[in-house]
Structure 1
Amino acid sequence: MSILIPVAIILFLVYLLSFYDNIRLMRKFWIYGGKMPGPPAHPIFGNASLFKNKTTEDFVEIFVNLANEARAKGANLMRTQVMNRIYVWPLNGKTAATILESSTEVNKGDDYSFLVPWLGGGLLMEQGEKWKNHRKMLTPAFHFAKLEGYLDVFNSESKILIDCIEKAMETQDTIDLFPFFKRCTLDIICGTAMGIKFNAQIEHHHEYVKAVEGFNKLTVEYSLNPFLWNKFVYWALGYQKMHDDFLLVLKKFTNDAIVERRAALASGAVEKETSKRKMNFLDILLSSEESMELTSEDIRKEVDTFLFAGHDTTSTSLSWLCWNLAHNADVQENVYREILEVFGEDPNEDVTSEKINRLEYTERVLKESKRMFAPVPGVQRKLTKDIVIDGITIPSEGNITISPTVLHCNPQVYQNPEKFDPDRFLPEECLKRHSYDYIPFSAGLRNCIGQKFSVLNEKVMLVHILRNFRLVPKIGFYETKPLFEVVAKPSHGIPMKLIRRY
């Protein structure tokens, strides 16, 4: 009993301090937020009422409408608030540049906190000197020569994808391509990042796949429910146990792969530095283990970051690309004709970097698809000090939300933003707008290190798909919507009728 009393006192004091800090932040953000453009906010709940009875399927429309209302009033930024958090949204590339080009305001925002137990310490979450050193170390993994070395995996897994789709077509008239793309990109990431054959396309029910899905769902639920931000509530409702169970599976999978690859390198079973081009992402980390003083946990976090950021974003981007092509038959036909002109009529020919770089029209189509459906709808920075943007003071501890979704739907930059028009990315058109008005992979110091990898992966898969199938939509364009989550997945998939070309 004598021990329990001081423990109870300490817990109570921690609760009081937490309660005080929440009140302090609410008061601070209420004062500053009242001077910013944005929807009326409640002193305690902020703008939570905007999201009542809504899902992340509705959020894109909510945020885009709020942004356009603010722009119509001449604002270059807007703010939203929920409980003890404030979010300030730049509404055009020029305003976003203040944060994107900052060398000091690079810390991730509050909404990333949920990912810390899994990815904290990896390139996505890290900050300061450690982030700079790891970024420098990992950059060679995405050089052009290295990407060429990944083409074998891109091609082989894309061919398996075609086989899997054709098998499904034997019994199904309607095919949702999204889960097929997710499994394919996961196999590609595992092959290129860790040099392992994962076989997600064949073994659909792997526990790692289930754990990724489960953890992603928890992430969304946590971000949408402020009551879950309280650790006791999170634990009492059983979320902490689910969280820990998923993490156990995720970490074990990666740690086992690291142990296996380290042993293979040590035994000479795989090539080491003799072929730099053949070294995968994990090999680079293992070869830098001593010089960079990397721990096994450091390596695990970087590999997990690449797995997490790589397969979900690419599969989502490719899904929206195919959705746009299915609903714009003329554009799809133009892309197909360009593919035939460059690659010829053999649907089994491997895609090469030399030929894929000649797909100029297809490149514009990819960019326009990412404008309409940015794979990552928003990134955040948490301010370390007060800053002034467009004459408005944004307080320290506040979040800046850089949203490609909001920036890409700006009617002041993109006329008729809901229209699919690849010619927006003709060279002369690009020169008319600020470079940060189009940022599907973010921009500045913390831009996506793997963007060239992702685009090349997407192009290779697209070439294989369109050489084999014509895409016909089974539902209306707006019957599936981008979810405003970590990744903008299609809410109802992308159901298609696929017509064989051969």
Structure 2
Amino acid sequence: MALFLPILLAVFLTFIAANWKTFRLIIKFWSYDKQIPGPPAHPIFGNASIFAGKSTVDITNLFIDMANEVRKTGKNVMRYRLMGKMFVWPLNGETLSKLVESTTELNKGDDYQFLEPWLGGGLLLVGYGEKWRSHRKMLTPTFHFAKLEGYLEVFNCESRIFVECLEKYADDEITVDLFPFIKRCLLDIICETAMGIKVDAQYNHNHPYVHAVEGFNRLSVIFAVNPLLQFYPIFWALGYKKQRDDYLHILKKFSKDVIDERKSSLASGEVEKETSKRKMNFLDILLNSAETNALTAEEIREEVDNFMFAGHDTTTTSLSWVCWNLAHNPDVQEKVYEEIISIFGDDPNQDVTTEGISKLEYTERVLKESKRIIAPVPSLQRKLREDMILDGCIIPSESNVSIAPLVLHSNPQVFANPEKFDPDRFLPDEIAKRNPYDYVPFSAGLRNCIGQKFSQLNEKVMLIHLMRNYRMEAMRGFYDTLPSFEIIAKPSNGIPVKLIRR
């Protein structure tokens, strides 16, 4: 008994020391619970209870409802807190502008910490400083317009395979979930254009990388909305650490194999080594930097993983929701088809060209409206280095401020009847009425998406090939598949459609 109290005290003090940062931030942020609009918060656990038992789909609707409730009070900023983590969401473009126009508030938020064992110090996660600037500058030539032209051959080739893989569903009039077909096609495109290797995921329907990305994304949200999981012993005891480690093994092995295969091809002379950065693909630029000691082997792996993830997952989600919106708006779908045929002709095998794509007007508005209805990336975070005033509220340093298309794009004060699919919202006169940051599908400011032009061109080529071959008919109600609140807004029940040959 004499030893019990000292042991108990030692355990208690060890626990406090190990989690001192969390307790310090709980004390710091507690006073802001009433100063910044948001739901009532528990002094210690904050708003953890509002997420309890909710699916990622429920969380999407929860945030939209929270935002609309706050807007009714006349405020355009809201907050919620999970123990020692404060999250603040600007609710319109004007309020958001101060964050995205900052040249110093570029650090990623707390939720991205879960991704660090996978994506590490790559461009997606690295914070404010010289490393971010130098890596961004080094990789920018990969997305130069002239370079994108060279990717068209792969875009067209893989899009034709994509259409071919769907033929049996059209012939047999069987419902098909387009989501996994789009995902596999985009993985093949990313690997071939950016990495210079063939993966043939379109013919390998059980590619482990695809499943590992989905699992890791899902696990990241479970971790983010359950504060107790952020205590390592609990995370380990409930088996989440093993799940994470298994996914990490698959993800890192895949990228390492990609890098090794490309290095081997260059060393053997199977692939001719380029000397101009303008002609190099993404991976070759990284490997060339390694030769000059600008990057380590681990930094190359991190940048490859960043691009692989961001390049195929977000475009998959974006194109999937385009298809779902078109399937539920047949009049819009027909107008898109007519515009495509008027520019590219009715030969379904003809290559798509950048010259033709530049003539798309109505289709361009449709793509933008689809990203407004359901943003491919629901929310991004910045962790403040200094206090910031937003909509008259002091937002403390160390809190997370979100660039959240999820709530910005559904703002009824900016987009009347926000649930309605209306491509005319993106006519020039309508765009001029809005703050430029009311619509931010690719984020904004210095940390906007470096690969957005690559993604948009890729998406258009795939859509054009799909539309020239098939008409899409929705096989479930629009709200029978919903966006999940994950890193990307994955459809909860896929994209189930019937394909009718043109």
Moved more, 195-204 or 230-239: 230-239
Which residue pairs with 2:249 in the alignment?
248
- Structure 2: how far apart are the matches of 1:494 and 1:432? 33
Counterpart secondary structure, 2:201 = coil
| Deviation of 1:60 (Å) | 1.8
8 Å Cα contact 1:470-1:499 kept in structure 2: yes
Which residue pairs with 2:222 in the alignment?
221
Cα distance change, pair 14–263 in 1 and its aligned pair in 2 (3 A): farther
Task: Provide, for residues 147-200 of structure 1, a one-character-per-residue CA deviation record: whole Å limited to 9, x for no partner.
Answer: 111111111111111111113445562111111111111111111121111111
Moved more, 314-323 or 275-284: 275-284
Counterpart secondary structure, 1:315 = helix
8 Å Cα contact 1:317-1:375 kept in structure 2: yes
TM-score w.r.t. length of structure 1: 0.95
8 Å Cα contact 2:33-2:40 kept in structure 1: no
| Deviation of 1:271 (Å) | 2.7
- Structure 2: how far apart are the matches of 1:35 and 1:308? 38
What percentage of aligned pairs have identical amino acids? 64
Moved more, 461-470 or 35-44: 35-44
| Deviation of 1:273 (Å) | 2.3
Which residue pairs with 2:30 in the alignment?
30
Counterpart amino acid of 1:220?
V
Which residue pairs with 1:90 in the alignment?
90
Which residue pairs with 1:40 in the alignment?
40
- Structure 2: how far apart are the matches of 1:397 and 1:94? 22
Counterpart secondary structure, 2:32 = helix
Counterpart amino acid of 2:302?
K
- Structure 1: how far apart are the matches of 2:40 and 2:9? 39
- Structure 2: how far apart are the matches of 1:107 and 1:10? 36
| Deviation of 1:315 (Å) | 0.8
8 Å Cα contact 2:169-2:499 kept in structure 1: no
8 Å Cα contact 1:368-1:425 kept in structure 2: yes
8 Å Cα contact 1:149-1:277 kept in structure 2: no
The number of residues matched between the two structures is 495
Counterpart secondary structure, 1:273 = coil
Counterpart secondary structure, 1:205 = coil
8 Å Cα contact 2:91-2:407 kept in structure 1: yes
Residues 308-457 of structure 1 mapped to structure 2, 5 A cutoff: 308-457=309-458
- Structure 2: how far apart are the matches of 1:284 and 1:9? 55
Counterpart amino acid of 1:109?
G
Which residue pairs with 1:285 in the alignment?
286
- Structure 1: how far apart are the matches of 2:183 and 2:449? 19
| Deviation of 1:10 (Å) | 9.6
Task: Provide, for residues 436-493 of structure 1, a one-character-per-residue CA deviation record: whole Å limited to 9, x for no partner.
Answer: 1000000001110000011111000000000000011011111111111100011111
- Structure 1: how far apart are the matches of 2:440 and 2:14? 41
8 Å Cα contact 2:221-2:485 kept in structure 1: no
8 Å Cα contact 1:178-1:494 kept in structure 2: yes
- Structure 1: how far apart are the matches of 2:100 and 2:293? 27
Residues 479-498 of structure 1 mapped to structure 2, 5 A cutoff: 479-498=480-499
Counterpart amino acid of 2:48?
A
8 Å Cα contact 1:37-1:75 kept in structure 2: yes
8 Å Cα contact 2:195-2:281 kept in structure 1: yes
- Structure 1: how far apart are the matches of 2:176 and 2:443? 32
- Structure 2: how far apart are the matches of 1:51 and 1:225? 8
Which residue pairs with 2:77 in the alignment?
77
Which residue pairs with 1:3 in the alignment?
none
Moved more, 332-341 or 203-212: 203-212
Cα distance change, pair 12–298 in 1 and its aligned pair in 2 (3 A): farther
Residues 221-240 of structure 1 mapped to structure 2, 5 A cutoff: 221-240=222-241
| Deviation of 1:278 (Å) | 4.5
8 Å Cα contact 2:176-2:498 kept in structure 1: yes
8 Å Cα contact 2:29-2:84 kept in structure 1: yes
Counterpart amino acid of 1:70?
V
Task: Provide, for residues 106-143 of structure 1, a one-character-per-residue CA deviation record: whole Å limited to 9, x for no partner.
Answer: 11111111000010110000121101100000011001
8 Å Cα contact 1:78-1:91 kept in structure 2: yes
| Deviation of 1:301 (Å) | 0.5
- Structure 2: how far apart are the matches of 1:306 and 1:82? 30
| Deviation of 1:51 (Å) | 1.9
- Structure 2: how far apart are the matches of 1:12 and 1:147? 58
- Structure 2: how far apart are the matches of 1:444 and 1:249? 34
Task: Provide, for residues 376-432 of structure 1, a one-character-per-residue CA deviation record: whole Å limited to 9, x for no partner.
Answer: 000001112222222211111111111011001111111111111111111111111
Which residue pairs with 2:15 in the alignment?
15
- Structure 1: how far apart are the matches of 2:12 and 2:176? 55
8 Å Cα contact 1:271-1:278 kept in structure 2: no
8 Å Cα contact 2:476-2:496 kept in structure 1: yes
Unaligned runs of 5+ in 2: 1-7
Counterpart secondary structure, 2:19 = helix
Cα distance change, pair 173–92 in 1 and its aligned pair in 2 (3 A): same
8 Å Cα contact 1:474-1:497 kept in structure 2: yes
Moved over 3 A (4+): 8-14, 168-172, 274-278
Counterpart amino acid of 1:335?
V
Counterpart secondary structure, 1:350 = coil
Cα distance change, pair 445–473 in 1 and its aligned pair in 2 (3 A): same
- Structure 2: how far apart are the matches of 1:364 and 1:390? 31
8 Å Cα contact 2:48-2:226 kept in structure 1: no
- Structure 1: how far apart are the matches of 2:175 and 2:459? 22
- Structure 2: how far apart are the matches of 1:321 and 1:415? 20
Task: Provide, for residues 73-105 of structure 1, a one-character-per-residue CA deviation record: whole Å limited to 9, x for no partner.
Answer: 110201111222111100111111111111111
Moved more, 113-122 or 288-297: 288-297
Which residue pairs with 2:5 in the alignment?
none
Residues 168-183 of structure 1 mapped to structure 2, 5 A cutoff: 168-170=169-171, 173-183=174-184
| Deviation of 1:18 (Å) | 3.2
